[in-house]
Homo-oligomer: A and B are copies of this chain.
Amino acid sequence: MPLKEAALKHLRGILGPGRLDVEIEGRACNAYDATGQIHTPDAVAYPETKDEIAAILRLANAMEFPVAPRGAGTGMTGGCLAVQGGLVLSTARMRRVVSLDPANMVARVEPGVVCGRFQEEVEAMGLFYPPDPSSAAFSTLGGNVAECAGGPRAVKYGVTRDYVLGLEAVTGAGACIRCGVQTAKGVVGYDLTRLITGSEGTLAVITQITLRLLPKPASTLTMTAVYDSVEDAARTVSAIFQAGIVPCAIEYLDQAALVCAEDYMRAGLPTDAGAVLLLAADGSLSQTREDAARLEEVCRFRGARAFEAAGEKTEKLWAARKSLSPALFRHGPHKINEDIVVPRSRIPEMVRKINEIRERTGLVMVTFGHAGDGNMHVNIMLDKNNPGALEKADKAVDEVFALTLALGGTISGEHGVGATKMRWFGQEIHEEERALMLAVKRAFDPKGILNPGKIFG
């Protein structure tokens, strides 16, 4: 369904000529995301208001062309890609923090606000926006809501969903809606807010977000626990919770991840270790110190050969952790990145079996992630141009997903299904639930113009 000249003319009428890009350079800049797939749209729209977005979507319904909403293009599953061509609707010109209300600890933002900048802005006021996807320096809050982004702090503070109080959005049908509340609580009618959150841009284009904030914790301490045995590290994770501690991060890095991070950042991580847990505690100064001492106790008891407060190395360690996703490319030009979740107690079994798959297949597999949530990023690095490489990797992914589901897990903790996981969607979501989801989709987007070719296949 390429965009016809008549549609482009209408779009120019809605946006003015300066905010519709049909040149190849602009289209190419909106053709990618973190999957490495390229889908060049026919045009890119840069609306600035919800009325413009509504006009675009009504036009898309009338003339039946696909619209792919796009934040910063940092997604891991192709959620923002125009896989069926048509229009990319970029939120790059909707970057206003509409209001920031410290008395009520609530902010209203446009979807194109970059997560990391927003965090800096609220922290300067003594406030705190916990969701911290590794992409936070680039990714937008609109994209974070659409994907229900997580991050290391989710283990204590929850995911994006837990901070979205209300939304303004335009449905696929072009209706402007406002759902949720501006208050701490609200239960009037069905929860459209959380229905749209995590719907990967397939139900509505988000035009404004009301976010809940917290007071900024007085102190944070980062620590590393170094293990010879991968399984000892994995077993520590549930032991921490069973000791009654709720740290604000429990990140796991296996040896391959440690080597990658060290090559890239020289943060002083031990590349000879089987695995490292990167831990953080926050709260009042006394609470943080108490938690840190107890974390050391649990980690050492569970076999950590070393336990260190990060001190001055804190920023560097987190930068190393956050750089892992791009750093992996030294192992191969292509990456398959899955973000499975298993119950915390099953992490030891999961990492053991992933190692078995790696040894058996000879694939380059690097595992790291938010172990506190049981959310592991399993990465397979490859060169797709090598004959058979992709098939072999895909088979390993099949195995990883089957194992995940058998252990009571889910195939995505924070990246979504998008275009890249559709093949496995049916293994987790059965026909009855899929039918309900599709009925919901039809209610919001009867003509299916919004982000087609995602989630459901």
Measured CB to CB, the residues of A under 8 A from B are 101-106, 126, 147-148, 150, 154-155, 158-159, 161-162, 171, 175-179, 181-192, 194-195, 197-199, 203, 214-216, 218, 238, 241-246, 283-284, 286-287, 290-291, 341-345, 370, 372-375, 408-417, 421, 425, 428-430, 432-437, 439-444, 455
Complex contact B183–A342 (CB within 8 A): yes
Docked-complex contact B159 and A162, CB < 8 angstroms: no
Are A440 and B437 neighbours in the complex by a CB distance under 8 Å? no
Per the bound structure, the CA–CA distance linking A175 and B434 in Å amounts to 12
| A194 in contact with B191 given A374-B183, A408-B183 (CB within 8 Å) | yes
Chain B residues near A242 (CB, 8 Å)?
A: 102-103, 126, 215
Q: A102 — which chain B residues lie within 8 A by C-beta?
A: 242
Q: Which of B103, B147, B183, B286 contacts A409 (CB 8 A)?
A: B183
Contact of A104 with B183 at beta-carbon distance under 8 Å, contacts A244-B216, A287-B284, A290-B284 already known: no
- 28 A-B pairs with C-beta separation under 8 A: A101-B345, A103-B344, A148-B191, A159-B185, A161-B194, A177-B430, A177-B432, A181-B410, A183-B374, A183-B375, A183-B408, A184-B341, A185-B410, A186-B412, A186-B413, A187-B410, A188-B417, A188-B421, A189-B425, A189-B455, A191-B194, A195-B195, A215-B244, A216-B244, A284-B290, A286-B290, A439-B439, A440-B440
The answer for the CA separation of A188 and B429 in the assembled complex, in Å, is 8
Q: Given the complex, which residues of B lie within 8 Å of A284, measured CB to CB?
A: 286-287, 290-291
Taking CB atoms, residues of chain B closer than 8 Å to A433 are 177-179, 189, 192
Which chain B residues lie closer than 8 Å to A197 at the CB level?
A: 191
Question: Which residues of chain B have C-beta atoms less than 8 A from A158's C-beta?
Answer: 162
Residue in B175, B218, B413 whose CB lies within 8 Å of A183: B413
In the complex the two chains form, is B187's CB within 8 Å of A147's CB? yes
CB distance from A335 to the nearest CB of B (A): 20
When the two chains form the complex, which single residue of B104, B290, B373, B421 contacts A185, counting CB atoms closer than 8 Å?
B373
Give the residue name and chain of the B residue nearest to A238 (CB). Answer: B103
Residue of B nearest to A195 (CB): B195
> In the docked arrangement, what's the CA distance between A243 and B127, Å?
11
CB nearest to A216 among chain B residues: B244
**B185-A341 in contact (CB<8A):** yes
Output the least CB separation between A92 and chain B (Å): 24
Residue of B nearest to A240 (CB): B215
* Chain B residues within an 8 Å CB radius of A176: 432
A171-B436 contact, Cβ under 8 Å, with A183-B374, A187-B412: yes
Distance in Å from the Cβ of A323 to the closest Cβ of chain B? 22
Pairwise interchain contact A246-B287, C-beta atoms closer than 8 A: no
The 8 Å CB contact of A287, one of B154, B189, B283, is B283
Verify B443–A181 contact, CB threshold 8 A. no
A415 cross-chain contacts in B, Cβ below 8 A: 187
Given A150-B185, A182-B408, A192-B436, the answer on whether A343 and B375 have CB atoms closer than 8 Å is no
Is B408 in contact with A187, judged by CB distance below 8 angstroms?
no
Specify which chain B residues have a CB less than 8 angstroms from the CB of A150 in the assembled complex: 185
Q: For A290, give the chain B residue with the smallest CB separation.
A: B284
Q: Using known A-B contacts A171-B436, A177-B432, A443-B440, determine if residue A185 contacts B413 with beta carbons closer than 8 Å.
A: yes
Do the beta carbons of B161 and A191 come within 8 Å of each other? yes
Contact among B287, B374, B411, B455 with A286 in the assembled complex (CB-CB below 8 Å): B287
Given A147-B187, A189-B434, A436-B444, 20 extra CB contacts under 8 A: A103-B242, A103-B345, A104-B238, A104-B345, A104-B374, A106-B343, A148-B191, A154-B185, A158-B162, A159-B185, A178-B430, A183-B410, A185-B373, A195-B195, A215-B241, A215-B243, A215-B246, A286-B287, A436-B443, A439-B439
CA distance A143 to B369 in the complex (A): 36
Given contacts A177-B432, A218-B244, A238-B103, contact A190 B287 (CB under 8 A): no
Interface centre among A183, A287, A342 (most CB of B within 10 A): A183
Q: Is the CB of B187 within 8 A of A148?
A: yes
A428 partner residues in chain B, CB cutoff 8 A: 188-189
> How distant is the Cα of A126 from the Cα of B421 in the complex, in angstroms?
38
- Residues of the B chain whose Cβ atoms lie less than 8 Å from the Cβ of A244: 126, 215-216, 218
Report chain B residues within 8 Å CB of A343: 101, 103-104, 106, 182-183
Which residue in chain B gives the minimum CB-CB distance to A413?
A: B185
